[in-house]
Structure 1
Amino acid sequence: MSTLLFNKSRPFGDITNRPLSNPTNNNHVKRPAPQHHAFKPLSANKKVRVHKTPVVQKSITKPNYIDIDAADKANHVEASDFAAIIHTNNLLAERTHMPCSNYIKTHQTVTPKMRSILVDWLADVCVTLKLCDKTFHLCIHILDRYLEKHQPTVKTLQLVGSVCLYIAAKYEEIYAPHANDLSVLSAGAFTMADVFTMEAHILNALQFQVTTPYTLTFFARIEKTLFAKGITPLVAHKISSTAQFIAELAMVDGLHLNYRPSQLAAAAVHLAVNHLNVPISWCESLSFHSGWQLCELHSCALKLKELVCGAKYPKNGRFTAIHRKFSATSTLMCTQI
């Protein structure tokens, strides 16, 4: 056993080299007790000056726009408490997945004319399969995002467009069309196995980010503003259908790539109101709820007007799917503008 080199009572030795103070020793220095000063009461005759801070009253100006969600407070389906927040988030989210405006001009395998033929054929397929308008708009958005990053061959271009429609239908429709239906409509240009393989390829290319606002998303908000301005439902439906017709013409032409979806929707509604001679101006309510001032819509509205005037009489019968779609009675024959 090795001997202990330290004292058990003081295992670390005397660090200060001074004798430890005994806590029981009463010779320690006593501190004087604190003195409590008594405050003298104020005399009743003495006046006290109170400095009052002047209150600056801010002038609260009432907004000039209409609260279009006030009438839907009792309707939980409309989600009036969150409608404005959802619309604001859509305005921010539309910039995230916008394709480049001039990608089709620099594309190596697909020309603007080939893209227009494909979009026109997809519009016919949507009418044949009785798909909703949201499916068509989302399909074109997925198609442009995919073509921006990849170079499909001419032979597989129809397959790419069909699969984009297949993905959009799965996302928007209650009963999506079968893959065999697309194969039949393409006259056997591809098989069901090709559809499934291309579907996985497109979704991986988009990183499964399909949720994105498109032009049709912003039409509902603007149409609701027209209702609040006192427009009758029939006239509001006529304006909305005409604006959608103009927007879909821009999708076939590729003009929509130069503008944001919300800007295209607002410019199309502004052009539709002018064409239909509706006695309503682009007021502050429409600017607020659409997100665009009138001065910001002039260039887009002029381009759309040139497109509509040139599309009244399609040459050689090409790109007429949108005209046939909106010539029906259900759309109030919006092509006659």
Structure 2
Amino acid sequence: MAATSPSHSHLHAGYLTATPNPLSNPSSNSGSDPPTPPASPRHTIGVGGAAAGHRYQRQMADKENGTAAPRLTRASAKRAAAVTAVAVAAKRKRVALSELPTLSNAVFKQKPRTKKASHVAEPNKATSTRRAPSPDLVDEEGDPQLCAPYASDINSYLRSMEMETKRRPAAHYIETVQVDVTANMRAILVDWLIEVAEEYTLVSDTLYLTVSYIDRFLSAKALNRQKLQLLGVSAMLIASKYEEISPPNVEDFCYITDNTYMKKEVVNMESDILNVLKFELGNPTTKTFLRMFIKSTQEDNKYPSLSLESMGSYLAELSLLEYGCVRLLPSVVAASAVFVARLTLDPDTNPWSKKLQAVTGYRASELKDCITLIHDLQLNRKGTSLMAIRDKYKQDRFKGVSTLLPPVEIPASYFEDLKE
């Protein structure tokens, strides 16, 4: 883990501190001492006495032990949310993470986590030669929530949606549209947003939609680097409203930037994003396909369900950091993540199968470029110092999958076409 730097925000048992945003003030000295936190209730933990401190410790312990709420139906969740909305807002534990460095070797301080195209994908082998996926997307005794009788139609609809121009970012928007924003700045922003999503316990679908909105916005409109963090929190605000039962409010997102941006600025940026996206918010993401592929290919019970899901999610989130994955279709990234996940859990067995080929509609040879990209990300061959995802998936609730490594080289035989 990278050494702690005074240029990053700190979470202590008694207060929160944060340094000025260098994107907002490029001349700021990142080596100066952090300012004394203001005497605000939001910058203190335990100002109400020992009871508040104990609540904070219990929250941290619950996260460490992987405590998770039982899955609720939509109706019961809404009833529960209506009763506890005020209490949930009061209990939220927030942290100021305002800094977005611009240097290529800059990185957020990583605190220990014990708490819980043109506008279409570039032509490639995976998209141009893809066969129709198998209608057998769930087994006969599968989860009824997968809507087995409609699975084939749902899959076909999602596949057509992911190809639509209006739902896709441009393949090379950093080079063709942006002047003041770089791929490294984008990666730093996404890494920080992953921490924000963890802090507010947002569902993973919210994170994927957030990154999708950011890429689509930046594909259409040039942005000054001082507004990049504002774009990030505003996109997450929209995604939260779309996915969450009880989303954070505007003030929460202002606070998470250490009040670098005011409520009016976030609301105005939210409006800009919606207009640029033409209110097309419901596009399928890598998570959409990943969930479907993993659920429908565990027929052999060879891979522990939770380990495979955690490993697949870990690899898919790593792809969010990589600007090179923007040009790839979400289904391609999801299928490649499943390949590398199975390779990591069982290196001696070909990770691709006829069932996977039928369900995804891709041959392993068609996914080779994306598989190699994700494999390199997992081995950190670029030497990135952004560690939010790796720290997140070290936790016991994710089976510590980020500590597992695949073979250094993928056997060429694994990319050979399977015999029918």
Give deviations 1:203-244, integer Å, cap 9, x for gaps: 011000001000000112211222223335xx1321221122
Q: Distance in 2 between matches of 1:124 and 1:165?
A: 12
Task: Please tell me whether the aligned partners of residues 135 and 152 of structure 2 are also in contact (alpha carbons under 8 angstroms).
Answer: no
Task: Please tell me whether the aligned partners of residues 135 and 151 of structure 2 are also in contact (alpha carbons under 8 angstroms).
Answer: no
Secondary structure of residue in 1 paired with 2:297: helix
Which AA in structure 1 matches 2:401?
A: C
Secondary structure of residue in 2 paired with 1:216: helix
1:287 to 352, 357, 373: 357
Q: Distance in 2 between matches of 1:281 and 1:113?
A: 32
Which AA in structure 2 matches 1:282?
A: W
Q: Do structure 1's residue 111 and structure 2's residue 182 form an aligned pair? A: yes
Q: Do structure 1's residue 156 and structure 2's residue 227 form an aligned pair? A: yes
Q: Distance in 2 between matches of 1:154 and 1:322?
A: 23
Give deviations 1:26-47, integer Å, cap 9, x for gaps: xxxxxxxxxxxxxxxxxxxxxx
1:92 to 155, 160, 164: 160
1:260 to 325, 329, 345: 329
Give deviations 1:279-323, integer Å, cap 9, x for gaps: 4642221112112111111111112112211269x55xx311111
Q: Distance in 2 between matches of 1:69 and 1:323?
A: 31
Which AA in structure 2 matches 1:263?
A: V
Secondary structure of residue in 2 paired with 1:139: helix
CA-CA distance at 1:69 after TM superposition: 2.9
Task: Please tell me whether the aligned partners of residues 268 and 304 of structure 1 are also in contact (alpha carbons under 8 angstroms).
Answer: yes
Which AA in structure 1 matches 2:191?
A: D
Which AA in structure 1 matches 2:325?
A: H
Structure 2 unaligned spans of 5+: 1-133, 405-420
Give deviations 1:244-286, integer Å, cap 9, x for gaps: 2112112112232131110111111101111111646422211
Task: Please tell me whether the aligned partners of residues 221 and 289 of structure 1 are also in contact (alpha carbons under 8 angstroms).
Answer: no
Match of 1:320 in 2: 387
Q: Do structure 1's residue 186 and structure 2's residue 257 form an aligned pair? A: yes
Q: Distance in 2 between matches of 1:281 and 1:199?
A: 42
Aligned residue pairs total: 267
Which AA in structure 2 matches 1:323?
A: R
Change (3 A) 1:207 1:228: same
CA-CA distance at 1:89 after TM superposition: 1.1
Q: Distance in 1 between matches of 2:153 and 2:190?
A: 33
Change (3 A) 1:243 1:139: same
Change (3 A) 1:280 1:231: farther
CA-CA distance at 1:105 after TM superposition: 2.8
Q: Distance in 2 between matches of 1:118 and 1:320?
A: 12
Task: Please tell me whether the aligned partners of residues 137 and 152 of structure 2 are also in contact (alpha carbons under 8 angstroms).
Answer: no
Task: Please tell me whether the aligned partners of residues 66 and 228 of structure 1 are also in contact (alpha carbons under 8 angstroms).
Answer: no
CA-CA distance at 1:170 after TM superposition: 0.5
Which AA in structure 2 matches 1:261?
A: P
2:339 to 270, 280, 283: 270
Query: Between the two proteins, what is the percent identity of the paired residues?
Result: 28
Q: Do structure 1's residue 82 and structure 2's residue 82 form an aligned pair? A: no
Match of 2:124 in 1: none
Change (3 A) 1:264 1:191: same
Which AA in structure 1 matches 2:370?
A: C
Q: Distance in 1 between matches of 2:371 and 2:276?
A: 33
Q: Distance in 1 between matches of 2:323 and 2:152?
A: 30
Q: Distance in 2 between matches of 1:214 and 1:305?
A: 20
TM-score by length of 1: 0.75
Task: Select the structure of larger CA radius of gyration.
Answer: 1
Q: Distance in 2 between matches of 1:76 and 1:270?
A: 26
Q: Distance in 1 between matches of 2:137 and 2:250?
A: 42
Alignment of structure 1 residues 48-87 onto 2, 5 Å: 67-72=136-141, 76-87=144-155
CA-CA distance at 1:66 after TM superposition: 9.0
Match of 1:38 in 2: none
TM-score by length of 2: 0.60
Secondary structure of residue in 2 paired with 1:156: helix
Structure 1 unaligned spans of 5+: 1-64
Q: Distance in 2 between matches of 1:281 and 1:139?
A: 30
Change (3 A) 1:206 1:265: same
Which deviates the most, 189-198 or 138-147? 189-198
Which AA in structure 2 matches 1:321?
A: A
Which AA in structure 1 matches 2:336?
A: A
Q: Distance in 1 between matches of 2:376 and 2:329?
A: 19
Q: Do structure 1's residue 333 and structure 2's residue 400 form an aligned pair? A: yes
Secondary structure of residue in 2 paired with 1:229: coil
Q: Distance in 2 between matches of 1:247 and 1:67?
A: 24
Q: Distance in 2 between matches of 1:253 and 1:280?
A: 26
Match of 1:4 in 2: none
Which AA in structure 2 matches 1:227?
A: Q
Secondary structure of residue in 2 paired with 1:155: helix
Change (3 A) 1:140 1:160: same
Secondary structure of residue in 1 paired with 2:181: coil
